[in-house]
Amino acid sequence: MLKISMPLAFTKGKKKKRVPLSMNRYRTAHFYESNWAKKEYKKLICEQVEGKTIDTPARITMVLWVGSKRRIDLDNRCIVQSKFLGDALQECWCIEDDTCKFINNIEYIYWGIDKENPRVDIRIEKSEI
């Protein structure tokens, strides 16, 4: 099993602009901003999976830890991470492709509040399906 931990947002530039990884932001962001976020995401993923292999077909579990009691939509917070993760794993040569042949199960779980470290914990393991 491979474990990865990813932030819910990145900060960009001198003004420390916060770029959240959510569907609402992805949908309305300028192309350059969303492309920048995807590149930052890929860097973090590649650092954490360097030299590791993933048995395919893989099962991915994304465990969401939010930073406050605000209402959230689980899909909005995890779907962009799921998209970026598949692309990053493919670009880092951990999997051949991010199609259903190689990743056949993705599960999102809301786990609770962590004010100090809001994040998505990602577990990647061999799928039994």
Q: pLDDT (tens digit, 9 = 90+) per residue, 35-79?
A: 888 999 999 999 999 888 889 999 999 999 999 998 888 988 899
Q: What is the pLDDT of residue 58?
A: 95
Q: What is the pTM of this model?
A: 0.86
Higher model confidence: residue 1 or residue 89?
A: 89
Q: What are the structural domains, with CATH classification, of the chain?
A: 2-126 (3.30.1330.70)
Q: What is the pLDDT of residue 15?
A: 77
> What's the rounded Cα separation, in Å, for the pair 23 and 44?
20
Q: Residue 68 in contact with residue 115, Cβ under 8 Å?
A: yes
Q: What is the pLDDT of residue 35?
A: 87
Q: How confident is the model at residue 84 (pLDDT cuts 50, 70, 90)?
A: very high
- Residue 73's nearest CA partner among 23, 19, 38, 30 is 23
Average pLDDT score over residue span 78-103: 92
Supply 113's token pair. Answer: 């509040």
